[in-house]
Amino acid sequence: GAVVSQHPSRVICKSGTSVKIECRSLDFQATTMFWYRQFPKQSLMLMATSNEGSKATYEQGVEKDKFLINHASLTLSTLTVTSAHPEDSSFYICSASPGFMNTEAFFGQGTRLTVV
């Protein structure tokens, strides 16, 4: 199946700094990618939809100035957590679908962010 690669898998940063997470579709082009956040023992929560060549669409309650999304090419989307705080510590996952109808999502490996 299609492969989505996410990097880094783990990152520890100091409070107040920014962290960038990359999501790449390795063998297909994705005009749309999705970013999720998952807290321990909870389900995936959609944060935003990343659209190639245009602004991301954020879900209600997600601060767009804090979680910057850039989808500069058909195979790469980045999520930057700006001015990170300990409460931003979480598991961040991206996904993309190669099909026209979004019939199957392929997920990255996830990034465990710890803000100290």
Partner 1 sequence: SQKIEQNSEALNIQEGKTATLTCNYTNYSPAYLQWYRQDPGRGPVFLLLIRENEKEKRKERLKVTFDTTLKQSLFHITASQPADSATYLCAPLNYGQNFVFGPGTRLSVLP
> Per rule CB under 8 A, is residue 7 in the interface with partner 1?
no
Alpha-helix runs per DSSP H in the chain: none
Considering only residues 30-59, where is the footprint of partner 1 by CB under 8 A?
34, 41-44, 46, 49
Between 89 and 109, whose beta carbon lies closer to partner 1? 109
Q: Which residues pair with 32 in a beta bridge?
A: 51
> Per rule CB under 8 A, is residue 60 in the interface with partner 1?
no
Distances in Å between the alpha carbon of 56 and those of 1, 13, 15, 18, 33?
26, 25, 25, 19, 10
Q: Which residues pair with 46 in a beta bridge?
A: 36
Task: Provide, rounded to whole angstroms, the least separation between the CB of residue 50 and partner 1.
Answer: 11
User: Which parts of this chain interact with partner 1 (CB under 8 A)?
Assistant: 1, 4, 6, 34, 41-44, 46, 49, 91, 93, 95, 101-110, 112
